[in-house]
Amino acid sequence: MSKRDLKPLSKSLFSFLKNQDSDEEETDTFSRIQPYVNNHQYETVDFTDRRNEFYRLMRKGIIARMEENYVEACKYLDLALELEPDNYEVYLEKSICLSLFHRTLSSIRVLVHGLNHSKRSYWFNDNERELEREYFGCLFRGLIEEVNDQQEASLKLYDQACKLYPTGFYALFSYAYALGSISLNPSTTLAPNVRENYMNQACEYFKKALTSIRNSPLHSKFHTYYICILYTNIAWVIRENNQIDDEALDYYSEAIKLNGKHLRSYLSRASLYSKKRENGKSISDFTACIEIKEKQTPRWIGIVDKMKVFFKDMEQDSHIIFTTIYLFMSRHLVEIFTMKYIDNFQVDTPETTITTSGTLLNKQQTKDYEKRLSDLYEERGIQFLDDNKIEEALLDFTAAKIICPFRAHPYIFTYFIGINVIDRSKCFSILENYLEFMECESNIRGVISEESLSQFDMSTLYKHISQLYEEQNQSKQAKSSRLKEKQLLNYSRIC
User: pLDDT tens-digit profile of 363-394?
Assistant: 889 989 999 999 999 999 999 999 999 999 99
Half-sphere exposure of 309 (CA within 13 A, CB side): 11
Its pTM surpasses 0.85: no
| Rounded percentage of the chain residues whose pLDDT exceeds 70 | 80
User: Within a domain: residue 158?
Assistant: no
User: Within a domain: residue 205?
Assistant: no
For residue 295, pLDDT beyond 80: yes
For residue 177, pLDDT beyond 70: yes
Q: How confident is the model at residue 487 (pLDDT cuts 50, 70, 90)?
A: confident
User: Within a domain: residue 329?
Assistant: yes
User: Within a domain: residue 399?
Assistant: yes
CA distance 434 to 283: 27
How many domains does the chain divide into? 1
User: What is the number of helices (H) and of strands (E) in the chain?
Assistant: 23, 2
What was the pLDDT predicted at 456? 59
What phi, psi does 360 have (nearest 5°)?
-90, 125
Q: How does DSSP assign 144-195, residue by residue?
A: HHHHTT-HHHHHHHHHHHHHH-TT-HHHHHHHHHHHHHHHH-TTS---HHHH
CA distance 115 to 12: 13
CB 156 within 8 A of CB 138: no
For residue 472, pLDDT beyond 90: no
Domain of residue 322, residue span: 298-425
Among 126-130, 314-318, 442-446, name the most confident range. Answer: 126-130
What was the pLDDT predicted at 453? 54
User: Within a domain: residue 362?
Assistant: yes
User: Within a domain: residue 337?
Assistant: yes
Mean of pLDDT over the chain: 82
Dihedral sign from CA coordinates of 429, 434, 437, 439: negative
User: Within a domain: residue 230?
Assistant: no
What phi, psi does 113 have (nearest 5°)?
-60, -40
What was the pLDDT predicted at 313? 85
User: Within a domain: residue 440?
Assistant: no
